[in-house]
Amino acid sequence: MNKFLALFSLIFCPPLIANPKNDEEHKRDFPKDEPLEVIEVVSDRIEPLTKELKEDATAKTEVLSGDGLRKFGAQTLADAIRQAIGVDTQMFCANCGAKRISINGLRGEHTTILVDGFPMHSTVSSFYGIDAVPMIGIEKIEVHRGAGASLEVAESIGGAINLISQEPVRDSISFDFEQGSAGSRQTSILGSAVWQSGHLMLTVFDGFSPHWDIDDNHVAESPQRSTRAVSGQFKVDLGSHSRLSGRVSQSSLETIGGNTEGFKPNAYSPIQAETTDFDAGDVRLDYIGDIHRITELIEVKRSERALRWDLSLSNEASLAVMASQTTQNQDGIYSHAFDYNNEDKIDFASMTYRHLVGDHLLSLGVDYKDQRMTSFSQALYVDRSPPLSADNFVFYSRGVYLMDEWQVNSDVMINLALRTDQLDVRWRELGEELSEQVVAPRMLALVDHTEHISSRLAIGLGYRPPLTLFESEHGNSHDGFVVDIDEIERAESAVYAFSLNYPAWFSTWSAHYTKLKNMSYGIDRISQGLPILFVNADENFEIYAFDWFFGGKPSHDTEVQIGVERFLFSDSYAEKLPTAAIEFQASLDASLKHDWGQFDSQVTYVGPRNLARYGYDEHFNVYNTDVTSDQFGQVSEPKSTQVPGYVLAHLGYQLPLGSHFELKLRVTNLLDFTQTSWGDSPATWHWHETHAHFDNFHTWGPLQGREYVIGLRGSW
């Protein structure tokens, strides 16, 4: 913590994380002799007291626009967020499609996901739920890298992602349709109605992504995915000083992995894939066994409801009351010879009072979260002898925070936040409890050295109760779980950035540091026939992220941005990650706008890696179970651990067709590189000291090949 206090003392020289594109746009001064504008109905809606302050660039590290997210065909949050700086969507199971969103090299469960400021995702639901969140109706995504940048947001060890819904300004209706050469497709419809005192917006989405079997061995390297969603939101003024807004949504996700025929089992297979199910026991050759044994079926249904009431109390004070409820039901059948279903329910409520005192906007907030997860498994809880204990839990969080947004002078803005939370977790059937109070100070600041040069600094403490067990180790759960966790995970983080921002170009250098303490992880004791043991790590892990971005407008019609990112962490941290992380990447984004349309390109280079540090040296292509062979019980021909760098390129073209329509043409993965085409599919025999079993999680590169897409957009 001493190094954090030292960094805090730097506040009056340089500070924080820059978003060079937004600094000048959002910067504003608050002279002491200028009275604050009286809050009243302006046009057709109330402008909240804090709108301009909250839009200041110190509240964000990166903003991704909805149009920018969708121009390369992102169907869901998991697809779209890949474009963000310092963020990676990690797929670590090519069968079930499980994904996590990682910020600054942290584990996916260390990322807090919000929708319009509501915590509607958890470590349980985000395992599959981020593929059930379509991008239709999303105005932008705010990415807050690090606990300091997250300010009043609870937990946020790695940072926070906030999806901001569109605010319609007129009556309108629009549709989008896309069809890909490999079979992908998506259709979305958005309609809005605006009246003097409010608005209503409705969205419908249907998306499909096919399976990919690059090596044509009848085992899919990427699963088939279907997503459907409907949502509605409203905002209405209640008199001249009060506003009510709300949002409801229903979404579903179906993922079929392993088999290439779209087969959907109605019960688990009691037998896993064996060596005789593959030619010569080699996962690279044809699968000739029962497809039930390699199939995984995940069905997710989400329901979200949120309500917010904003009240202007005076010219200087406002009150915001928020409440939400999210329920996600998951039914899963796995190729590891079991099923697993759960219901994850989150109830949330908060109240925030804001008061402007001179150059200080003070916020006092209280919030409450109640999360309950219940699970059921026919294979593990009933048919198994002896049956396993369920991983059900209840989690209560009661928090209070105080924040000061201080305009020191025309060149310095400082945000200070202090959160305290009482966290209580109880794993009911496992007989374990965890109760702890956390105090989390955070600071975010901006200094403008000149009109074009600025620095930023963010420091703070993040925290997280380790909750989910099954989904952390869903491939290794046959022997159950033992919980020996007695500490909340904590992380000290610091971020510094230096920016040059001129009318025609910008450049930003930033460094991110995280010291992770008490990280929970599972100790694999399968070879001993013992349950997985969940513990807190004794070691502290230091994770570093460095990036540099440069961009500008070489001409009136052209925009270009290049970037380089580097992530550094120890081997002992890497071996505890669920999948191989990106360690180095460089990117080039270019856009050309003209009367005849808009051309966009995105090229990303991911550097080579040594996969052995992630535990991939336990992955093999061949497993011999022939009792007559002298190689009986042995694995051979290891999967690749030294993998090359690769390039991903996407191209897009949008052509206006009159005033209401637009033709869209796109190519994804232009170079058609996949890890399977390189000779290293995700299918593997996973060695556990005494035996091996089939899995499909040797993932490190692209799993989907080149696809040509045509689409049409209409708007009125």
The boundaries of the domain holding residue 694 are 2-715
Sequence-distant (≥ 6) Cβ neighbours of residue 555 within 8 angstroms = none
The CATH number assigned to the domain holding 95 equals: 2.40.170.20
Return the H-helix or E-strand segment holding 141: strand 138-145
Name the E strands within 146-197.
159-165, 172-180, 185-195
State whether residue 595 is helix, strand or coil: coil
- Give pLDDT tens digits for 381-427: 999 888 888 889 999 999 999 999 999 999 999 999 999 999 999 98
Angle at 351 between CA 345 and CA 357, to 5 degrees: 150
Secondary structure of 1-37 in the HEC alphabet?
Answer: CHHHHHHHHHHHCCCECCCCCCHHHHCCCCCCCCCCC
Please calculate the CA angle 619-128-669 and round it to the nearest 5 degrees: 65
Q: According to the model, what pLDDT value does residue 478 have?
A: 60
CA proximity to 405, closest of 67, 59, 48: 59
pLDDT, residue 484, reads 83
Reference 483, options 423, 536, 541, 540; nearest CA is 536
CA–CA separation, 371 vs 587, rounded Å? Answer: 39
pLDDT at site 4: 40
pLDDT value at residue 27 = 35
Tokens describing residue 517: 């303490």
Tokens standing for 173?
Answer: 């209706």
How is the chain split among helix, strand and coil, in percent rounded to 5? 10, 55, 35
Please check whether residue 297 is in contact with residue 332, taking contact to mean a CB–CB distance below 8 angstroms.
yes
Q: What size, in residues, is the chain?
A: 716
Those residues of the chain that have pLDDT short of 50 are 1-60, 471-473, 475
Residue 286 neighbours by CB under 8 Å, 6+ apart: 217, 218, 278, 279
Count structural domains, the chain.
1
State residue 156 phi and psi, 5-degree precision. 60, 50
* pTM of the full structure: 0.88
Burial call 368-405: b when 16+ CB within 10 Å, e when fewer: ebebbbbbebebbbeeeeeebbbbbbbbbbebebebbb
CB 145 within 8 A of CB 61: yes
- Percentage above 70 pLDDT, the chain: 89
The C-alpha atoms of residue 100 and residue 187 are separated, in whole angstroms, by 25
* C-beta atoms surrounding 88 within 10 Å: 21
Assign 223 to helix, strand or coil: coil
H-helix or E-strand containing 364? strand 360-376
Residue type, 544: Y
Computed on alpha carbons and rounded to an integer, the radius of gyration of the chain in Å comes to 26
**Are 178 and 671 spatial neighbours (Cβ–Cβ below 8 Å)?**
no
**Predicted pLDDT at 53:** 38
Single-letter residue type at 110 = H
